[in-house]
Each structure stands twice: as structure tokens, then as C-alpha cells.
Amino acid sequence: MLAGGGASIAHGAADGPDGGGHAAHGTGSAGGSTDGMASADGKVGEDGKAGEDGKAGEVGMVGGASRSGGFWMRADGVFSPPGSFVPSDALTYDTALVPAAARIEVTQYADRTTTRVGTRLKGLLPNRAYGMHVHTSLCAADPASAGPHYQHRASATADPVNEVWLDFRTDRNGAGEAEARHDWGFRDGGARSVIIHDEQGGAGKRIACFTVPLSS
């Protein structure tokens, strides 16, 4: 169910990727630490080379069932420009705003009543606001390939209630985080990436993309 993009899956019994709950929807002030990321040491493999899947230090994807009857997923990526020697599921289209080797983590927790999607990032510009949304298609060299925002009710309102907005502001170290919570789940195969925009709100230039299939 969670396979894709060279990811590996590990099953476990936990109520979420960190075993605990998260806050309701809001833009993160990035005051909290992002050192809890699965690969937060910033290294590219043990020996400075690409990982076993050929990707630049990416942990891939893990997930499993929760004790409450839902499931959780976590995916990690390292940004690189399209066409880089070492391929990545995380693409930067503007290295001035999302530098190569910046890192991203996306988490999802879902049960019968709630879906939470969170993100944590490192290595971005300090003290800067970024927009971020879940999109419908996979990342590719053309930023438009990721399709439009995922909408719970298609062609309805473009807002944080009907879409998944993860706008955030980085701290002085270039780290940021955000989480969105909804009482609806994704359609199967309908949410396949997250896009980082150069400004917050409903639009903005697409400056980076991370392929991360989100499950219903």
C-alpha cells in the first residue's frame, strides 16, 4: 500500500511515527527542533556515498499499523536538481531557495476519524516563509508534472479546509515544520507528492517537489 519510489516498508505497532500525537493544523514557527528526523545528521550514507537504493542518503519510506486501528507512514528525502547523477524523489527547481542537500521528512497518520500530515525540513534559507501543499501527481523535471493541489471535494474551495496546506517559516538555522489535520482521508492514489512554493497561501512559484504517495 505504501510502496513507491524505491522505498522500503517496515511494519510496527505504534500510534504514529513517534509514538505520540501531534498538534492541530497550523503553520509551524519552526521554534521546535527538527533533529528527530530519521536522517537528521545530514550525512550522505556511512561513507559519503549514495545509499543502497542509489539515492543520496535517503532513508526511504517506513510505515505500519497502529494500536488504534489506523496506520502511519514516514518518508525522508534529500533534495537535488532534476537530472542529478544520484537520483532522488526530492527535486529542487530553485537551488537558491531550496539548496541541494536540504532535507525533508513527511509523515502521515490516519484512523477512522482523522488524517494528519506533517513535515519537517532542514537546510533551507533561514527566517523565511515557504508555502507547501499536497499535490495529485508524481514529481518530475517539469514542476507542473505534480499536478494541482489535492482537494477533498474536487473543484470546490482552494483553502486549508478542502486541501492540505503545510505552510511554514524557517528558524535561524533554516529548519521548519508544519502539520495539517483533517476529518477526511485521501482517495486511493489521489495524493502523490508535496510541493514547496516560494510564498505562502494558495499559489506561488513551485520551487521543490517530493514524491511521497499518501494513503487513504
Which range among 19-28, 65-74, 126-135, 198-207 shows the weakest confidence by mean pLDDT?
Answer: 19-28
How far apart are the C-alpha atoms of 134 and 214, rounded to whole Å?
9
For residues 171 and 127, is the Cβ–Cβ distance under 8 A? yes
The residue assigned the cell 521528512 is 105
The pTM is what?
A: 0.74
**Better-scored residue on pLDDT, 6 or 112:** 112
Name residues whose C-beta falls within 8 Å of residue 108's C-beta, 6 or more positions apart in sequence: 72, 73, 74, 115, 116, 117, 118, 214, 215
Strands (E), the chain: 26-27, 60-65, 71-78, 90-92, 103-110, 115-122, 129-135, 168-169, 176-182, 191-197, 206-214
The answer on pLDDT for 206 being more than 50 is yes
How far apart are the C-alpha atoms of 194 and 214, rounded to whole Å?
10
What are the C-alpha distances in Å from 196 to residues 62, 140, 186? Answer: 22, 14, 20
Q: Residue 171, Cβ neighbours under 10 Å: how many?
A: 20
For residues 184 and 199, is the Cβ–Cβ distance under 8 A? no
Q: Which amino acid is at 80?
A: S
Q: What is the mean pLDDT of residues 186-199?
A: 95
- Dig out the grid coordinates for 109 from the structure: 497518520
Beta bridge partners of 110: 71, 115
**Better-scored residue on pLDDT, 176 or 159:** 176
**Better-scored residue on pLDDT, 161 or 15:** 161
Q: Residue 71, Cβ neighbours under 10 Å: how many?
A: 18
pLDDT digits (tens, 9 = 90+) for 28-45: 433 334 344 543 333 333
The residue assigned the cell 490516519 is 110
Model confidence at 113, pLDDT cuts 50, 70, 90, reads confident
* pLDDT given at position 156: 73
Mean pLDDT for all residues in the chain: 77
How far apart are the C-alpha atoms of 121 and 119, rounded to whole Å?
7
The answer on pLDDT for 66 being more than 50 is yes
